[in-house]
């Protein structure tokens, strides 16, 4: 397993101090859209948190807005179709893809269009406010409706269809069918099954280890695919990484729930102890690397010291020293409480 990826996985699987907690795949999709959109479109578009619409349950997942139209013209669909702004609805694996999902998308777009006209005094041209649905595939019911003449799916490019008739651009993006292209990374993260595995292999060398580690942390399916991109990793190491990530995820969920509900101090202390146990499990993969480097088991005192140093120095630093130092130097580093 590469040093960089090991350190990144340890960081994400540990306290996650520098990573926003991600408990659900849809949160990962929105994070990728926010980070990748300006990058892959060469600042041609931006993704932002959608404003609250004054009706219950009508907040879209986000908005994609044109920043530099000329930067989008040569990009693959759907980017080249973007005009003004579109609301984005992400449907990750296991999300419902029935007719109601599409109707909710249309409803949210209509509410957003009214908001633009009345509160932002925007041009009322319906083509300036579209809607995109990002999903793994085109559901059967949509194909059946097309066969019955209820609608038409017009190809905008590989994996992208305009759902017509509609007086605004309504686009269905099927991530499993999209080509593996740099500008499509924000949509490719919604893949499933074999197409997801192909994407994992392809993107592994195109994004930094921290980005890849966050994907492993956010998408349970990807955790099972680590060995496909890290062939030197043993099954035992793969299990350790998955266990660490799951333990950390559980700890984050408990911690977030405690913060949101304002649980009493006595209960919070119990939760903190549970989180600490989760963190210790998350340290398992890094600790195993220390043991293999030293050629012996870690002592109880060294175990406590490693837990302390992941707090003070960070998991990335531990990942560096375990591979940069000789076994003798590593043992001395562990024994020195002032080592950095």
The pLDDT, as a whole number, for residue 253 is 53
Q: How confident is residue 130, by pLDDT bands cut at 50, 70 and 90?
A: very high
Does the pLDDT at position 205 exceed 50? Answer: yes
Q: pLDDT exceeding 90 applies to what percent of the chain? A: 40
Q: What is the mean pLDDT of the chain?
A: 80
| C-alpha torsion sign, points 180, 186, 192, 197 | positive
CA–CA separation, 204 vs 224, rounded Å?
Answer: 14
Q: What is the per-residue pLDDT for 2?
A: 58
Average pLDDT over residues 218-222: 82
**What does residue 21 show for φ and ψ, rounded to 5 degrees?**
-60, 130
Q: What pLDDT is attached to residue 305?
A: 82
- Residue 210 or 91, more confident: 91
The answer on pLDDT for 267 being more than 60 is no
Please, which residues have CB within 8 angstroms of residue 154's CB and are 6 or more apart in sequence? Answer: 161, 162, 164
Q: Is 194 exposed, middle or buried (0-12, 13-18, 19+ CB in 10 A)?
A: exposed
DSSP assignment, residue 46? Answer: E
* Of 4 and 145, more confident: 145
Calculate mean pLDDT across residues 28-40. 90
Please say if the pLDDT value at position 116 is more than 70. Answer: yes
- Higher confidence at residue 330 or residue 102? 102
Q: Any idea which of 95-99, 185-189, 199-203, 289-293 has the lowest mean pLDDT? A: 289-293
Residues forming a β-bridge with 89: 133
Residue 88 has pLDDT above 70, yes or no: yes
Domain ranges of the chain: 3-17+212-335, 41-191
Contact 207, 192 (CB under 8 A): no
Residue 234 has pLDDT above 70, yes or no: no
Measure the CA–CA gap between 72 and 28, rounded to whole angstroms: 24
Q: Which of 40, 83, 32 is nearest to 62 (CA)?
A: 32
Phi/psi for 20 (5° steps) reads -65, 130
Four-residue CA torsion sign, 9, 235, 218, 39:
positive
Q: Virtual CA dihedral for 329, 332, 337, 338, nearest 10 degrees?
A: -50
More confident residue, 130 or 53: 130
Give pLDDT, residue 275: 47
CA distance 334 to 187: 44
Check: CB of residue 235 under 8 Å from CB of residue 227: yes
Q: DSSP letter at 128? A: G
Does the pLDDT of residue 57 top 60, yes or no? Answer: no
The pairing of strands 170-174 and 160-164 is: antiparallel
Q: Residue 79 pLDDT more than 90?
A: yes
- Given a contact cutoff of 8 angstroms between Cβ atoms, the answer to whether 81 and 171 are in contact is yes
Q: Are strands 85-90 and 45-48 parallel, antiparallel or unpaired?
A: unpaired
């Amino acid at each position: 397993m590469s040093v960089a990826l090991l350190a990144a996985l340890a960081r994400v699987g540990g306290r996650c101090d520098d990573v926003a907690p991600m408990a659900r795949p849809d949160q990962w999709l929105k994070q990728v859209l926010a980070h990748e959109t300006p990058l892959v479109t060469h600042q041609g578009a931006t993704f932002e948190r959608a404003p609250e619409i004054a009706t219950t349950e009508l907040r879209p997942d986000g908005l994609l807005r044109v920043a530099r139209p000329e930067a989008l013209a040569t990009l693959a669909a759907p980017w080249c179709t973007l005009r003004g702004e579109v609301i984005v609805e992400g449907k990750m694996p296991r999300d419902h893809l029935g007719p109601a999902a599409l109707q909710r998308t249309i409803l949210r777009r209509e509410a957003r269009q009214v908001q633009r006209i009345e509160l932002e005094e925007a041009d009322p041209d319906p083509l300036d406010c579209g809607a995109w649905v990002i999903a793994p595939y085109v559901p059967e019911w949509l194909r059946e409706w097309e066969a019955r003449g209820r609608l038409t799916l017009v190809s905008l490019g590989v994996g992208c269809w305009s759902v017509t008739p509609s007086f605004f651009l309504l686009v269905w993006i099927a991530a499993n069918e999209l080509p593996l292209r740099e500008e499509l990374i924000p949509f490719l993260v919604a893949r499933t099954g074999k197409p997801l595995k192909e994407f994992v292999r392809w993107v592994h060398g195109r994004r930094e280890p921290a980005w890849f580690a966050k994907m492993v942390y956010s998408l349970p399916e990807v955790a099972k695919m680590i060995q496909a991109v890290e062939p030197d990793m043993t099954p035992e190491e793969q299990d350790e990484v998955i266990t660490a990530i799951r333990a950390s995820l559980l700890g984050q969920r408990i911690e977030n729930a405690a913060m949101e509900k304002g649980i009493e101090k006595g209960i919070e202390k119990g939760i903190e102890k549970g989180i600490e146990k989760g963190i210790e499990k998350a340290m398992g993969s890094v600790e195993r690397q220390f043991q293999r480097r030293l050629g012996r088991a870690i002592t109880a005192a060294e175990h406590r010291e490693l837990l302390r140093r992941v707090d003070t120095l960070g998991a990335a630093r531990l990942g560096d020293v375990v591979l940069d130092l000789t076994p003798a130097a590593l043992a001395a580093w562990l024994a020195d409480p002032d080592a950095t």
